[in-house]
Amino acid sequence: MASTSLPVSVDDVLAAQDLLSEIIRPTPLEFSQALSDRVGGDVHLKCENLQRAGSFKIRGAYTRMSRLSDEEKARGVVAASAGNHAQGVALAAKLLGIRSTVFMPLGAPIPKLMATRGYGAEVEQLGTSIDECLVRARKFETETGAVLIHPFDHPDIVAGQGTCGLEILEQCPDVRTILVSAGGGGLLAGIATVVKDRRPEVRVIGVQAEMAAAYPPSLAAGHPVPLASMATMADGIAVGCPGEVPYAIVRELVDSIETVSEDMLSRAVLFLLERAKQLVEPAGAAAVARLLDAGKGVHDGPVVAVLSGGNIDPLLLLRIIRHGLVIAGRYLQFRVRVPDRPGSLAGLLADLAGADANVVDIEHVRTSATLPVDQVEIAVQLEAKGTAHCEELLSTLRDKGYVLTFG
C-alpha cells in the first residue's frame, strides 16, 4: 500500500481518468508471442505509441492544463521538451484554447518539431538537452507570466500518466511484472502509484538508457542528482535529473531501476518493427530492450512492457534498422584484397553465393596508394541470416584464403 505522504494518490489518478475520458482512448494491450518465447512467460505490449500525438504525454499535459484557472489559461503556457511532451502540450493547448510556447533542443527530431508546430504551438529551439530548454522555459515564465507545464515534475502530470496504469490492471488483471521506460520518471511514478495501491505484489521496474540513467545515482544518494553528461539515441528519456515529485514516488514504490545499452535499444526497435508490427522510438522501446537483454526466467509473467512513444524520425529509423541488423547478424560489411586479374571478382561473388549470402552493395577499388600494384580491394555489404550464418560465412572465406578487414 502506498504511503499517504506521497505527492500523488490513486484517488488523484482516478480523478485524472475522469478528466481524460472524452479526450484520450485506452490504448490496446497486444500479446507478443515472439517476446513470450524469449522471456519464458506471457508478454503483453501496452501500446502508448498509438495514443493521440504518438505517446502517453497527452495524459499528463491535458490533466495539468485543464485544471488551470481562467486567468492562468489567459496567460498561456510554456513547456520544454525533446518532442513527445511538446506534442502533448501543444495538442492539449489546442483542445483547451490556450496559447502555447515550447522550447525544444536544436537536435529535436524533425517530425516531432513539425507536429508540435502543426498543433499550433510557437516553437523555439536552443541548446542540446531538455534541461537547457527547461532553464529557458522558466525564464520565459518569469518574463511573460505563462504557466510552465513541466514534462514530469508536477502532481497533476504524474496523476495523468498514472491513468495508463489503471488501463494495464484492467486489461491484464493477472499481470505480475510491469516494465516502464523512465527519463524524469513521470510515467513510471504514475503507474507505480496505481499498481502498488491495488496490486502491491506486482513488480514495477523502470528502464533507462545506460548512458542517460539519472535514477541509479540519485537513489543511491537519497536525492535527485544531476548527471554530468548524457549520450543516447533515446531522446525521449534523455533527462539529466529526476524530478522531485516522481523521485519521491519512485524511491518508495518502484522495485528496481534497470538500464539498457544503445545496441539493445536498436535491437528492440527493429524487433518491434519486425515481430510485433509496432513502430516505436528508442525511448519507447526501452522496456522491450530490457526483456530482450535479460532473456528467460528473469522477469515473472505475465509481463507488460509499456511502449511509451512512437514518434521516430525516419532518418533515425533508417540508421537504427541498419545498426540493428548489424548487431543481430543480419548485415555484414568487410573488405578483401584479391589478385588484379580477370575472374577474381567473379570468383569472390561465386564463393559468397555458395555460402548463401546476398550481396547488397559492392565497391571495386583498383587505384589506391595503399594497394600493391598487383591487387585490388573489394568492399562488400551483405545480407546474412544471423550471427551463426555470419561466423560460418567468414570462416568459409578465410578457409578459401581470403584475408578480411573490417571497418
Domains and CATH numbers, the chain: 10-55+155-325 (3.40.50.1100), 57-148 (3.40.50.1100), 330-405 (3.30.70.260)
Decide: 21 and 14 in contact? Cβ < 8 Å. Answer: no
The pLDDT score that the predictor gives to residue 4 is 62
Confidence of residue 3 (pLDDT cuts 50, 70, 90): low
Decide: 269 and 317 in contact? Cβ < 8 Å. Answer: yes
Is residue 2 over pLDDT 60? no
The pLDDT score that the predictor gives to residue 83 is 86
* Cα 354 from Cα 160, distance rounded (Å): 58
pLDDT tens-digit map of 264-311: 999 999 999 999 999 999 999 999 999 999 988 889 889 999 999 999
Give percent of the chain with pLDDT exceeding 70.
99
Is residue 255 over pLDDT 60? yes
Q: Is 106 helix (H, G, I), strand (E, B) or coil?
A: coil
pLDDT tens-digit map of 8-31: 999 999 999 999 999 999 999 999
Is residue 369 over pLDDT 80? no
Strand order from edge to edge, sheet including 77-80? 122-125, 100-104, 77-80, 147-148
pLDDT tens-digit map of 86-126: 999 999 999 999 999 999 999 888 888 999 999 999 999 99
* Cα 185 from Cα 304, distance rounded (Å): 18
Work out the mean pLDDT of the chain and round it to a whole number: 93
* Alpha helix positions (H), 172-308: 186-198, 215-221, 244-253, 262-271, 286-294
Give percent of the chain with pLDDT exceeding 90.
75
Pairing of strands 43-47, 203-209: unpaired
pTM of the model: 0.87
Strand order from edge to edge, sheet including 404-405? 358-365, 375-383, 331-339, 404-405
pLDDT tens-digit map of 145-176: 999 999 999 999 999 999 999 999 999 999 99
